[in-house]
Amino acid sequence: MTERPAGEHPMVLYRVLRWTMSFYFRARMKIRFEGEDNVPEKGPFFLVLSHQSDLDSLLLHTFCPRLIFTLAKSSVFRTRLMAWLAPRVGAVPTRRYQIDPQSVRVALRLIERGEGVGVFAEGERSWDGKLQPLRCGTISFLLKAGVPVIPCGLIGTYEILPRWGHMNWFKLGFGREPVIIRYAEPIHFGPHDDRTSRERARPDATNRIASALQAVMAR
């Protein structure tokens, strides 16, 4: 049987896991949500996320007001189980540190279908809990799509599970500060259909997104 692209799988499993994981996370840690009204009830958008921990994508997929699809590093899909499961819970494989034409096409198709797509514009998890430089290719990709961009900060995940840490589902979250998932107001860049336009707009777009991410990441 031919595997269907991400976004074409039934979302039943995704919804069941969202419900299950919400109980787990609420039991293990304090979670606060801010700015959820900034996530549109319908229509396409990009959610640009800070990336401090492996918890980020789990929390996003569990608690985002909309079902969300995220670009995930291809190594997540290495095992047979994850190759089957990840697309069914909204993950889209992409190669790190380079533009992946296939993942770009899938993401743009999701946008055209009216979905929300999450991207980690830093390209990797932070080593020190601070925002890293945003990837030029990612910013150009956002400009090409021409849909609202919503910066989202996940505060507190670095302290619970930093990049060098190991997931322990039995100890996760006890005795920690609250985790905050904060959404900024949408940024509208307008259409940038050609490469010249995107290159001209990219420095300003990078600064605006980075400044918004710094703001939503503040305690």
Collapsed DSSP state (helix, strand, coil) of residue 167: coil
Whole-prediction pTM: 0.87
Nearest to 147 by CA among 205, 209, 190, 196: 190
CA 187 – CA 175 distance, rounded (Å): 36
What pLDDT does 169 receive? 62
pLDDT truncated to tens, each residue of the chain (219 aa)? 344 445 555 578 899 999 999 999 998 889 999 999 999 999 999 999 999 998 998 999 999 999 999 887 777 778 888 888 888 888 887 776 666 778 888 889 999 999 999 999 988 888 888 899 999 989 998 999 989 999 999 999 988 888 777 766 666 666 567 899 999 999 999 889 899 999 999 999 999 999 999 999 988
What pLDDT does 67 receive? 92
Gap between the terminal Cα atoms of the chain: 48
Distance of CA 212 to the CA centre of its chain: 15
What pLDDT does 10 receive? 55
CA 19 – CA 11 distance, rounded (Å): 13
Domain ranges of the chain: 12-164+175-216
What pLDDT does 2 receive? 40
DSSP structural state of residue 142: H
* Domain made up of 12-164+175-216: CATH architecture: 3-Layer(aba) Sandwich (3.40)
Residues paired with residue 183 on neighbouring β-strands, in sequence order:
152
Half-sphere exposure of 214 (CA within 13 A, CB side): 9
CA 210 – CA 191 distance, rounded (Å): 20
